[in-house]
């Protein structure tokens, strides 16, 4: 065996030793899929606000109590959401109406809330939903507890208002 | 020179034979947990059902240490979903070997086991976890028959999980 052959044999030997010490690997794969359901919920803790008996010209604010009605919003959609308020019709007793200019809402967001409260104090109701609260970024997904906001209401009975029982329906609207 | 050539050809052939291992997924290689609520908990197919098991078959070369491990990629989706939310359960281990590794381990060596070495159940991570390690628990000296393992999958969705579609890939790795 000449020196050239010796080199070839040595290199081949090293190659085989390397192969012997190298681990062989096989891999197989399993695909996994799932879908997490959407939560987009709005709830109120009370359904009736009763101003009870009032005199013409009388004003009642901060009803039904000092805390107000709690409105809770839950979303896990990861997108901005907006809470709006309106009434479906003005305070009415048949043909008699207390105009929305005299029907007011106010409120506040809970201490834990991080969004923006858009109420200015005592806002008049409108038939089209008005923005009350816009979620903060970390409320785009706020489950499981959600975000609490509180609403209070007031009425100014016009001095020449006809007597009767006046009703309206307040609507909270949640949009993205 | 011819003798040397034959000699090296034989060595090379033995090295090629040495690396002949195989790993296949023969049943349920696609897992769909379907639509789930935040906070929900599901087995594959919604119930603990052996028919839903994923079957993994592999063969190794006798007399050589090997490992069989599993890991998963991070979930892809609209938000982070921890890998530890998903776990496996080994529902069967056996095959052509006279004694299956898991059976031997459980019943011949006692019910205590090394949870970091042989894991009949475990939570996923992006690091490979050995389900079987022959250097610890032995390997067939003469029998290179197929091992067959079956897995059932489970997932716990965090109760604050953002809605949307999530997917990941589970990787089985056989190393010898």
The predicted-structure confidence for A133-167, as pLDDT tens digits, reads as follows 999 999 999 999 999 999 999 999 999 999 999 99
Contact between A30 and B29 using a beta-carbon 8 Å cutoff? yes
Residue A1 burial (C-beta neighbours within 10 Å; 0-12, 13-18, 19+): exposed
Structure tokens at A47: 């359904």
pLDDT band at B149; cut points 50, 70, 90: confident
- In this structure, what is the dihedral angle of CA atoms B158, B162, B164, B166, given to the nearest 10 degrees? -50
pLDDT band at B26; cut points 50, 70, 90: confident
User: Nearest to residue B173, comparing CAs of B31, B56, B27, B44?
Assistant: B56
A4 touches chain B (CB under 8 A): no
**Residue B39 pLDDT greater than 60, yes or no:** yes
- Map tokens 């197989």 to a residue: A28
- Tens digits of residue pLDDT in B48-101: 666 678 989 888 887 788 888 999 999 999 999 999 999 988 777 765 433 344
Average pLDDT of the segment spanning B112-136: 70
Contact between A29 and B162 using a beta-carbon 8 Å cutoff? no
Structure tokens at B39: 């906070």
Residue B17: its chain A contacts at CB < 8 A?
none
Q: Indicate the residue of A25, A28, A30 with minimum beta-carbon distance to B31.
A: A30
Give, in words, the CATH class of A40-175: mainly beta
**Residue A123 pLDDT greater than 90, yes or no:** yes
**Residue B18 pLDDT greater than 70, yes or no:** no
**Considering chain B, what is the average pLDDT of its residues?**
75
Predicted pLDDT at A34: 96
> Are the beta carbons of A158 and A93 closer than 8 angstroms?
no
B30 touches chain A (CB under 8 A): yes
pLDDT band at B152; cut points 50, 70, 90: confident
Omega within 30 of 0 (cis) for the link into B12: no
| A18 φ/ψ angles, rounded to the nearest 5 degrees | -60, -40
Predicted pLDDT at B97: 38
pLDDT band at B16; cut points 50, 70, 90: very low
Contact between B35 and A37 using a beta-carbon 8 Å cutoff? yes
**Considering chain A, what is the average pLDDT of its residues?**
92
Omega within 30 of 0 (cis) for the link into B100: no
Distance CA B75, CA A152 (A): 44
* Domain chopping of chain A, boundaries: 40-175
**Residue A20 pLDDT greater than 60, yes or no:** no
Number of neighbouring beta carbons within 10 Å of residue B157: 21
Distance CA B86, CA A33 (A): 12
**Residue B107 pLDDT greater than 80, yes or no:** no
With helix as H, strand as E and coil as C, how does A63-126 read?
Answer: ECCCCCEEEEEEECCCCCCEEEEEECCCEEECCEEECHHHEEEEEEECCCCCCEECCCCCEECC
Contact between B160 and A29 using a beta-carbon 8 Å cutoff? no
B83 touches chain A (CB under 8 A): no
Residue A39: its chain B contacts at CB < 8 A?
38, 163
Residues 20-49 of A with CB under 8 A from B: 20, 23-39
B124 touches chain A (CB under 8 A): no
**Residue B121 pLDDT greater than 80, yes or no:** no
Distance CA A54, CA A40 (A): 38
- Tens digits of residue pLDDT in A21-68: 567 999 999 999 999 999 999 999 999 999 999 999 999 999 999 999
**Residue A7 pLDDT greater than 80, yes or no:** no
Half-sphere exposure of A93 (CA within 13 A, CB side): 8
Q: SS3 of A44, please?
A: strand
Residue B28: its chain A contacts at CB < 8 A?
30
Average pLDDT of the segment spanning A105-125: 97
Q: Indicate the residue of B159, B168, B175 with minimum beta-carbon distance to A25.
A: B175
A76 touches chain B (CB under 8 A): yes
- What is the layout of strands, in order, in the sheet containing B164-175? B30-36, A25-36, B164-175, B67-72, B129-133
**Residue B36 pLDDT greater than 80, yes or no:** yes
Residues 45-74 of B with CB under 8 A from A: 54, 56, 58, 72
**What's B85's DSSP letter?**
G
The residue of chain A nearest to residue B24, with distances taken between CA atoms, is: A28
Q: Indicate the residue of A19, A30, A36 with minimum beta-carbon distance to B15.
A: A19
**What's B115's DSSP letter?**
T
- What whole-number percentage of chain B has pLDDT above 90? 34
């Amino acid at each position: 065996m000449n020196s050239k052959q010796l080199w070839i044999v040595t290199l081949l030997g090293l190659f085989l030793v390397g192969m012997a010490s190298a681990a062989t690997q096989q891999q197989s794969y399993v695909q996994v899929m799932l879908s997490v359901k959407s939560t987009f919920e709005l709830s109120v803790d009370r359904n009736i606000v009763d101003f009870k008996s009032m005199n013409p010209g009388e004003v009642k604010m901060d009803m039904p109590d000092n805390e107000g009605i709690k409105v809770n919003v839950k979303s896990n959609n990861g997108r901005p959401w907006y809470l709006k308020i309106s009434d479906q019709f003005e305070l009415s007793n048949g043909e008699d109406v207390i105009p929305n200019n005299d029907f007011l809402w106010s409120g506040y967001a809970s201490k834990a809330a991080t969004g923006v409260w858009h109420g200015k104090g005592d806002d008049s109701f409108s038939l089209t939903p008005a923005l009350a609260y816009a979620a903060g970024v970390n409320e785009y997904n706020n489950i499981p507890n959600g975000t609490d906001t509180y609403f209070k209401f007031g009425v100014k009975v016009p001095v020449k208002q006809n007597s009767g029982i006046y009703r309206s329906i307040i609507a909270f609207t949640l949009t993205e | 020179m011819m003798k040397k050539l034959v000699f090296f050809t034989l060595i090379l052939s033995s090295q090629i034979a040495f690396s002949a291992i195989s790993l296949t997924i023969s049943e349920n290689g696609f897992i769909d947990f379907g639509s789930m609520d935040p906070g929900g908990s599901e087995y594959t197919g919604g119930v603990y059902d052996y028919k839903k098991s994923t079957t993994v078959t592999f063969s190794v070369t006798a007399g050589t240490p090997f490992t069989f491990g599993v890991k998963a990629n991070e979930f892809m989706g609209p938000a982070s979903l921890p890998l530890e939310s998903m776990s496996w359960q080994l529902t069967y281990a056996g095959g052509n070997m006279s004694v299956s590794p898991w059976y031997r381990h459980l019943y011949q060596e006692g019910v205590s086991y090394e949870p970091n070495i042989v894991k009949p159940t475990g939570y996923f991570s992006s690091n490979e976890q050995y389900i079987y390690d022959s250097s610890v628990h032995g390997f067939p000296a003469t029998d290179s028959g197929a091992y067959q393992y079956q897995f059932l999958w489970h997932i716990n969705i965090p109760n604050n999980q953002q809605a949307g579609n999530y997917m990941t890939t589970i990787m089985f790795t056989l190393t010898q």
